[in-house]
Amino acid sequence: MLIVEELHMLLLRPDGRVDSSVSVNRLYGEIAAVLTDLALRGRITLTDERHPVVGIASTEPTGHPVLDTTLERLIPLRGKRLQSLIARPKLDPLEVVVESLLVQGVLIRGERGFFGWGSVRTPESDPAPERVLRARLADVIAGDRVAARADLSLLSILQNLNAAHAILREECAGASARDLKKRIEQLTAESPQADGTAVGDAVANALNAAMAAAMMAAMTPAIVAATVS
């Protein structure tokens, strides 16, 4: 399963809606996750500079609809800074990720919100994949399992969304939000090349910085308005 698909499972509540802790920032996390998937498959590159630029290394289809749809959307955006892409709604993989999980039987189409308004909810049809995923992350956090690139990516993205503790409350075995943050930082530092190459680490570092910058840029107008008022 893709990193972005696993992330989406973690972000969904039992009723099929995105958890309130990430409802505003989900876009950043899921774009970061799908870009990680593409980079690890050799489809995109990032320049080695303070504000990385995204390049297209190959347009060859991966065979996965989520990745191929995102890659197609990325092609006309090649040469753009990573930070700007993280916040670009055009790259939001939500619809194709949901469709992929529906096809796999993980999710099912539910009902809309009150009075038939809002988007269609997509609760889990098969809870087994998420249970396995959460058990895996719990073992990684506890030190009982060596972290794979997917594990590190998921933990880093959740931490950058300021939602790791809210989403993984049970998996962190009673650890505080501060302690979980330290543990994720420790795991990232200890396993810089969990995928066997330097690509995963370079992408993770660049995406972490880009997510933080994009979220800060989005929050700044609200902070300024609150200060002025």
pLDDT at position 213 is: 76
pLDDT at position 54 is: 92
What total of structural domains would you count in the chain? 1
Quote the distance between the C-alpha of residue 63 and its chain's center.
20
pLDDT less than 50: residues of the chain:
114-118, 193-199, 220-229
Residue 185 and residue 29 in contact, taking contact as beta carbons nearer than 8 Å: no
Q: Range of 105's domain?
A: 3-221
Q: Is 229 part of a structural domain of the chain? A: no
Residues 52-87 have pLDDT tens digits of: 899 999 999 999 999 999 999 999 999 999 989 998
Q: Is 23 part of a structural domain of the chain? A: yes
CATH number reported for the structural domain that contains residue 68 in this entry? 1.10.3630.10
Q: Is 94 part of a structural domain of the chain? A: yes
Q: What backbone torsions phi and psi does residue 164 show, to the nearest 5 degrees?
A: -60, -45
pLDDT at position 116 is: 46
Q: What backbone torsions phi and psi does residue 90 show, to the nearest 5 degrees?
A: -60, -30
pLDDT at position 218 is: 62
The whole-angstrom separation of Cα 190 and Cα 6 is 23
Terminus-to-terminus CA distance in the chain, angstroms? 47
Residue 175 token pair: 């650890």
Residue 213 and residue 81 in contact, taking contact as beta carbons nearer than 8 Å: no
Q: Is 72 part of a structural domain of the chain? A: yes
pLDDT at position 191 is: 62
Residues 23-48 have pLDDT tens digits of: 888 999 999 999 999 999 999 998 88
Q: Is 19 part of a structural domain of the chain? A: yes
Q: Is 183 part of a structural domain of the chain? A: yes
Q: Is 184 part of a structural domain of the chain? A: yes
Quote the distance between the C-alpha of residue 43 and its chain's center.
18
